[in-house]
Amino acid sequence: MSASAILVVEDDPNLREAIGDTLELAGRSVRTASGGEEALEILAQEQFAIVISDVRMIPMDGIALLKEIRLHHPRLPVLLMTAYADVDRAVEAMRSGACDFLLKPFEPAALLAQIDKYALPDPQTVTDVIAADPASANLFAIAARVAQTDATVFLTGESGVGKEVVARFIHRHSARKTGPFVAINCAAIPETLLEATLFGYEKGAYTGAQNAQAGKFEQAEDGTLLLDEVTEMSLPLQAKLLRVLQEREVERVGGKKPIALNIRVIATSNRDMMEAVKRGLFREDLYYRLNVFPILIPALRQRPLDIVPLARHFLVEKATEIGRSGLAFSPAAEAALAACAWPGNVRELENVIQRAMILSPGNLIEPECLTLQAGDAATAFAAMPFLPPLENFSNIAEKNADNKKNMKVLERNHILKTLAEAGGSRKAAVERLGISERTLRYKLKQYKEEGFLQEE
């Protein structure tokens, strides 16, 4: 079943069939369940864009089902159907996390309108980012939906998870995509300059202000403003930011006339926000003003299927920048990358790939060039493989052919030695080498033809 499908939960077989037929006639993919328990079994195995459920069902009613879905599938929209007499229960359902409810009887057009409004987009339609893991595919599907609105978004997650990548994705998929995307790192600008940088200033506002200057808020007009690491702002500046967000207008430093704003604001933080609020480091009212639509970005270790595709992407990107085309990871190197915990997330992965490109003597990057255990500069240096003195690389272009030949010799010796240690068992050798059985067969056939391996 496609991730864009609709799950209909209704214990009345006639109504269940009628709703299913209505949706199928409208070109929608539909799956039906006769009750809450069956629906939960289906949801454990398949993905859906939205669940439509009746409220009054036995033995598990719609509100109990809703609470179970919120627990196990927190981002999945649930639309409830209810009779007029059950409006009080519908209100309870909205408080429990239902996206909306429909009063019976309803017209097909009303049902389709609600589905179009709340259903998640198919993750397979997200093609302009790397999202091989289901966790990241779901993340970008949610980001694509909020991009269609002007809601303020608060991106949280560990340092290095790619918060700005998600912010740019939201901007790129929004109605503001032709407008500017303006990013400001609130932690990187001195406190004395941050206010003028954000809000702008008039001529003569302070010493050195020889000309008026628009701030980041004005520069983002008709576009998106990213407030990166917003929790690093001082409390007085947080108060001024709160007023700008409330009034949707900004007043330059030294200015007397407010300037109306038409922007979308995205904020990020790597802190535990509620802890920062409790400790008095961040204003509670500003937190709720920014936290209209929160998105927690999973750490890289929580989306392991992204690791190798991201590594390949960085390898191609960086190789193009330095003019070293043809670089690739060995199967063992990719296995090592996938097995790493990546405490520094995507940023750490990118750094490791850059180091590997520098350290690799040939076009095939092996595990020893990845320095994965490097936690600091000293450890990273100790983990690097032995390299000749720098002057020996002066004619590296002329030595590429010899290097390639030497790498082939080392590879052949390693494979044959591993095969011998495995007692001739190809299956055991494949597991030790970290390559496919097909690759091993190809290599052994090549070695036989070259006379390095006798016929069996």
Domain holding 282: CATH number? Answer: 3.40.50.300
Residue 169 lies in a domain: yes
> What is the per-residue pLDDT for 379?
46
pLDDT > 60? residue 385: no
95 and 154 part of one domain: no
The structure's pTM equals 0.64
Q: How confident is the model at residue 186 (pLDDT cuts 50, 70, 90)?
A: very high
316 and 239 part of one domain: no
Domain holding 427: CATH number? Answer: 1.10.10
Residues 6+ apart with CB under 8 A from 75: 120, 138, 142
Distinct helix (H) and strand (E) counts, the chain: 19, 16
34 and 149 part of one domain: no
> What is the per-residue pLDDT for 124?
61
Residue 455 lies in a domain: no
363 and 406 part of one domain: no
Return the sign of the alpha-carbon dihedral for residues 393, 394, 397, 403: negative
Residue 127 lies in a domain: no
Angle formed at CA 64 by CA 62 and CA 70, multiple of 5 degrees: 100
Domain boundary among 387, 421, 440: 387
Q: How confident is the model at residue 402 (pLDDT cuts 50, 70, 90)?
A: low
281 and 343 part of one domain: no
Backbone angles phi, psi at 49, to 5 degrees: -85, -25
- Model confidence over 228-271: pLDDT tens digits? 999 999 999 999 999 999 999 999 988 888 999 999 999 999 99
Share of the chain above pLDDT 70, in %: 87
Residue 393 lies in a domain: no
Residue 128 lies in a domain: no
Cα distances from 423 to residues 169, 260, 307, 428, 443, in angstroms, run 53, 77, 34, 9, 17
171 and 294 part of one domain: yes
The domain containing residue 407 runs over which residues?
A: 399-449
Residue 456 lies in a domain: no
156 and 263 part of one domain: yes
190 and 207 part of one domain: yes
User: Tokens in use for 383?
Assistant: 């983990």
173 and 205 part of one domain: yes
pLDDT > 90? residue 309: yes
Domain holding 332: CATH number? Answer: 1.10.8.60
- Model confidence over 123-135: pLDDT tens digits? 666 667 888 888 8
Residue-averaged pLDDT of the chain: 84
105 and 158 part of one domain: no
Q: How confident is the model at residue 85 (pLDDT cuts 50, 70, 90)?
A: low
Domain boundary among 387, 407, 422: 387
Domain holding 21: CATH number? Answer: 3.40.50.2300
84 and 23 part of one domain: yes
The total domain count for the chain is: 4
Residue 269 lies in a domain: yes
Name the nearest CA neighbour of 135 among 73, 44, 57: 73
Residue 238 lies in a domain: yes
260 and 319 part of one domain: no
